[in-house]
Structure 1
């Protein structure tokens, strides 16, 4: 576990007006009775290990197995509302590019709303996640495993078929849907001092940051990244310093492989997220999976395990002592069961 604490940068203009709390609150109303209100779990053993009180928000138990259902369904419902309000025809369908969880979520959301769905999937995506996307009724198209190829293939497909693109994170409707995680969590645990959120493109962390700033301004939102992402340096500079924004990281967390944050999400994070970013290695994520399996009796993805490991092993030494109540977002549980034995073996007995 490594922690970066960059020097505070000069203030910059606020860029998060397009993802307001009102839009998150509207999303919560829109999604009510359509999604699970996921539980919060606790563990005395993990509390003792961390010297904090930890509250695990179980988004791996959400519909489609991840928090992504929130943003996808909110975006689709917004599209339908906008069409009705403006007297336009209902969209023919939706399209996206995804390494797994957003593809599943959008396929499910489209099916729930009676729309077709096409998903561009990079080669090498987990077979379990690809099969799940298909099972929810989407048509799958393979592409080269880089972000540029994903975006280009998705745009081409949408143009050819008259579909509306719903991006996996860089979309204000998606971000608002993801922000509803924080509304629920603060209703369930009002005394929270901080929330740890795994980050890839930043849709979840930015949505949560906006909601928390409105509901409890003193609450801190810390991003948890796979080693090598370099988010702390970018937040310190308030600039996206990634030399190749479309690059993917080599990590066991397929949900966290994108190196850069999004064009829409990054300014929000600069304004509202904490500059201290927690970086987690593959071995530490594997250990997080092992801890969840042993003490929470839950199977989670490595992306979720990144936040769990950060909470258990970084909170005592790296976060200020007055932050006693820590929320931890377990983002997904779509793990190929065939990989579980090797994942647990990678963790060893280091706990």
Structure 2
């Protein structure tokens, strides 16, 4: 297991700069007053392909040798990683195959195809996803770019918090959603090296709380097919992301389905930005745990904006 370093993050940022946005940081006086803290929203929902995962995917794709790239790339994804890998592969002009649960939002399947990727459907469970994916790789010989348990991907995701601490001074904490842990791992990589006094929190749905239970139990606990409106957070931690989570995260906070939907509506209403349910989990967790954040300066990573407008969670 290769654990990415700060040098890997700096190299990733140089490599991907032509292919990503330096996303803005937005604030809301109304939400600050509601929470009793100063919140700074790093808007990766405005990233290329609509999610932070464009960073890690671009780093992986553009770091391939010509020989590797010729065989294309493949992954399994509930949506955003597959979309972003298809985006990056399209930029390099190589094939991309994405194994997706048949229950994934149609908007995300359409987005993968829109960037030139091929979608292969599986059942909505980790076991089915991995079995179908094994068949795809055997057939194509494509380079596997894991959605999060990949040092190249984590180094790419780590560039998000590098930008955040350049954009906002004196943060007390940063909080990001956690599913497989790629963004949280990247946040740990950057902040423990460049801003070690900043606390790192992860936020997770109560109905898909395997990272929370892993963190409390001291070992990886994986659920096969959790059910939550935050569809991007259904996957379990893996060896590489667990390394960062267990060593660097201050705490993992959970939020109910109602909390998540309410937070999503609040951000849409007050900040006028489109973001998906997974991205609302950190604010939901903060609202539930105001005492932890009162009077503090908190960075929130808004991870993506790829929501199916025909199936909004409050409809």
Shorter-normalised TM range = over 0.9
Contact kept in structure 2, 1:51 and 1:315, CA below 8 Å: no
Deviation at 1:178, TM superposition (A): 0.6
User: What is the SS of the residue equivalent to 1:213?
Assistant: helix
SS in 1 for 2:73: strand
Q: Distance in 2 between matches of 1:149 and 1:230?
A: 19
1:234 aligns with 2:214: yes
Aligned-residue Cα RMSD (Å) equals 1.6
Which runs of 5 or more residues in structure 1 are unaligned?
A: 1-14, 346-351
Note the alpha carbon deviations across 1:138-186, whole angstroms, 9 max, x for none. 1111111111221222222112112111111110100111111110000
**Matched pairs, number:** 314
With normalisation by structure 1, the TM-score equals 0.86
Matched position secondary structure for 2:121: strand
The 5-angstrom pairing of residues 277-316 of structure 1 reads 277-311=252-286, 313-316=287-290
Task: Mark the CA change 1:64 to 1:320 in structure 2 (over 3 Å): closer, same or farther.
Answer: closer
Q: What is the CA–CA distance in structure 1 between the aligned matches of 2:116 and 2:293, rounded to whole Å?
A: 47
SS at match of 1:255: helix
Q: 2:3 touches 2:240 (CA, 8 Å); kept in 1?
A: no
Matches within 5 A, 1:170-189: 170-189=149-168
Tell me whether 1:147 sits opposite 2:126 in the alignment.
yes
- Cα distance in 2, alignment partners of residues 266 and 277 from structure 1: 13
Q: 3-state SS of the aligned residue for 1:38?
A: coil
Counterpart-to-counterpart distance in 2, 1:303 and 1:66: 11
Output the TM-score relative to the length of structure 2. 0.95
Larger radius of gyration: 1
What is residue 232 of structure 2 aligned with on the other side?
255
The answer to whether the aligner puts 1:272 opposite 2:251 as a matched pair is: no
Aligned-pair distance for 1:282?
Answer: 1.1
- Aligned partner of 1:58 in structure 2 is 43
- 1:212 pairs, out of 191, 206, 209, with 191
Partner of 1:193: 172
Contact 2:179 2:211 in 1 (8 A): no
Q: Which runs of 5+ in 2 are unaligned?
A: none
